[in-house]
Amino acid sequence: MRVNPCIPIWIFLLLFIACRSQKKDAGVIHDETPKENVILFMVYHIQHDTLTNKTSLKFISSTKANGSLKKETLYETSGANTLIVEVYEKKKLISTQKLEHPLYKEVEVAEGTSLSRKAVTLKEADFFFRIQKPAEDAEVKIKESVHHENPVELITQTL
């Protein structure tokens, strides 16, 4: 029985290719560590003091959840009264969100047979926002803009 001369050549080529591809990966050290995909839900209490005309914020809690935010899912408003949430990583601004101000609301009121909009100002309220957790050395700054005025920083918090 005679062996086909092509078979040993094919076996040699397969072994050569297999050994060569293994050597290629053998000396490589994968230095990349996967980034942590965590969403932070931050809850605050906001209060306006009418005597001093100052707004104050108090941090209540934060909750972590696995996942990542899509840019288009972040809610933004263009109203006259907003809170601006800025996230910094290593002193560099990495994201900004504009939220509806929780103390300034517009409600619809029935007047006779028609509805009209009324502006309501609350003294205090709780609110939350969500951010993608930065990797390290991060902080959140929350600013207030009332009646389209220049934003005033209310709080800076280290994450």
Give the DSSP H/E element, type plus range, for residue 17.
helix 6-26
Give tens-digit pLDDT for 34-89.
Answer: 456 889 999 999 999 989 989 999 999 999 999 888 765 455 666 789 999 999 99
Strand partners, 68: none
Give tens-digit pLDDT for 7-47.
Answer: 667 676 666 676 655 444 443 434 344 456 889 999 999 99
Mean pLDDT of the chain: 81
Give the DSSP H/E element, type plus range, for residue 54.
strand 54-66
Is 38-158 assigned to CATH 1.10.1060?
Answer: no
Torsion of CA 141, 103, 58, 158, to 10 degrees: -10
What are the structural domain ranges in the chain?
Answer: 38-158
Predicted model pTM: 0.69
